[in-house]
Each structure stands twice: as structure tokens, then as C-alpha cells.
Amino acid sequence: MTLTELRYVVALAQERHFGRAAQKCFVTQPTLSLALAKLEDELGVKLFERNKNEVLVTAKGQGIVEQARRVLDEVGKIQQLAKGGQDQLSGALRLGAIPTIGPYLLPDLIPILRKRAPAMPLAIEENLTGNLAPMLRDGELDAVLIALPFALPGVKTRVVYEEPFSVVVPEGHKWGSRRDVKPQELSGENLLVLNNGHCFREQVLEACPGQSNTALPEGRAGSSLETIRNMVASGLGVSVLPASALTARYATKLLKVVPFASPVPTRKVALAWRASFDRPAAIELLAESIGAMKMPCLRFARAA
């Protein structure tokens, strides 16, 4: 049994496809297949069920896959120590962020990090929570920025800020001069939301009674907040955006921002990382740097 074979096991368990797993490991498909067949013979256990469309982990293989992940994580710690890992702020930090956070937080965060930790660049993965979670669990990412709730075994979370939501309407809309809007009033409007898979979509629908969570008519969903913003500006409907997406740099005369009446819907944004991650100083600096951003629209969490 070798570390290379364990990497193949973890890659195939995640990708569920020999071709994609081989590409991820930078080997040919026959090389990966032969290595896994050899390992199964050595262990006397069938790790994977193979069919034409998908590869599945067997019941006995599941425990071996989990142990392989832990072994590779511990090996990573050894490699870090061998490279002089005492300096936890040296080397790239692999950071994941959901699409409704990354574009609005990173432009203010990265300059702060560049000053505080110039030897720690960010390798950024923007993706949905459902995709970031296994990447964090499997060690492909060091930390992720997500919206709560978020729970994953072996993963710690730390709230870094809370932000309110606001309604956005097109220029000339009847609410343009309103002081505030109650969430239930949006039930009579064409509410534009993100596509399925975005946690912010669920948060908006939960905050606005009367909106369907499943069968929204065609044309009412977008792939990003910027798409939604442009759809509202064009006059297609109204929407709800987080405060970080409504700062001065995103202002346009074609949109009006109308606050929600109290109690204002909000979301909590958290930093999540594996409890076994061997660079806690990097996580601490990242959290502190987020708290140092000059964004009055956000309510930053106090340091623990």
C-alpha cells in the first residue's frame, strides 16, 4: 500500500468516474485502474462498485476511504513541517467562497492581507456551498467563507460578520420613494432570485412570505447577483440583495435601494476550516483581516 494508491482511492471516491479521477491525479486511466485493482487484491476488499455510468464506494470501502483521507491529511502536516512550517503565514492559503460573498468581500480583503501577510497569497475557489463542503473536508481547500447554517464533521466555524438585506427596485418603481418595505409586501411583486443551489436564494425566499420555494416561473431566476441586479435594472422585477453587494462601487441610477422594515432580514457569514488544519495562525489572521475591513454596512463579529 502506497500514498499514491491512497490518493487514487480518495480521488475516485470524490469524482465517481475513472477518467476524471485520473485527470485529477495527473495519470492515465489505465494506470489508476491497475493501481486500485492491485490495492483491492492486497486488502482483500472490494472498494468500489463499477458500472457504465458511475463508480460507487462499497459499504466496506467507505471506512477505508475515510481513513485514507485522514492519512493524507496527516502526511500534509509532515510535508509542511519539512518545509519549515513554523512560519504559518508563508505559502498559499487555499480559500473557498460562495458566489454571493467572494466578489464583494475579496476586493477589500486582499489588500489588507497583502500588507499583513505578503508571503501568503490566496488561491481562491468560488463555488456553491454544496461543492465547497467536500473540498474542505477532503483537504482540497484550507478554509471557506460561507453563510450559516453550515455543519460538517471535523470542521470548525467562526462568524466573521452579519449583514442586512435590502430590496432593490428599478428606477420609477412605486417603491422608489418609500422609507421601507415589509417582507410580506414582496408577495405581490415579480421577485427575482438566484438559481437553485445558492443558499442566498433560500434565505431570500424564507425572508419573503408568499413566494414559492420550488416552482418559480421561467425568467425569475439568475445565475449571479450581478445578473439579478441587471434584470432588476432592466425593469423585469424586484429583488433582494445583501448589504455587501450594495456599496457605492455598485451604485447605478437605474436602481433604487429600499430598506426592509424592522425586523430586517440578515445573514451571518462564517469562516470554516478543518479542526486538524495545521496553520491556525493563518485562519486567525484571515478572520482579523476581515474584521479590519472598512465596510460600515457589515456588523463585524468581535474577536473571541
Tens-place pLDDT, residues 19-68: 888 998 999 999 999 999 999 999 998 999 887 778 889 988 888 998 89
Is the per-residue pLDDT at 219 higher than 60?
A: no
Q: What is the mean pLDDT of residues 238-252?
A: 91
Instruction: Please report the pLDDT score of residue 294 as a whole number.
Output: 87
Nearest to 104 by CA among 243, 279, 278: 243
In the predicted structure, residue 217 carries a pLDDT above the cut 70: no
- Give the C-alpha separation, 13 to 291, whole Å: 37
Interatomic CA distance for residues 146 and 137, integer angstroms: 14
- The pLDDT score that the predictor gives to residue 71 is 87
Q: How confident is the model over 154-165, as a mean pLDDT?
A: 94
Residue 271 has pLDDT above 60, yes or no: yes
Between these two residues, 217 and 46, which has the higher pLDDT value?
Answer: 46
Q: Residue 215's pLDDT is what?
A: 44
Instruction: Please tell me the predicted confidence (pLDDT) of residue 76.
Output: 75
pLDDT band (50, 70, 90) for residue 214? very low
Residue 175 binned pLDDT confidence (cut-offs 50, 70, 90): very high
**Weakest mean pLDDT among 10-19, 85-94, 173-182, 226-235:** 85-94
How far is residue 230's CA from residue 219's CA, in Å, rounded to a whole number?
A: 13
Q: Percent of the chain having pLDDT more than 90?
A: 55
Per-residue pLDDT, 216: 52
Instruction: Give the mean pLDDT of the chain.
Output: 88
Task: Give the confidence band of 110 by pLDDT, cuts at 50, 70, 90.
Answer: very high
pLDDT at 75: 80
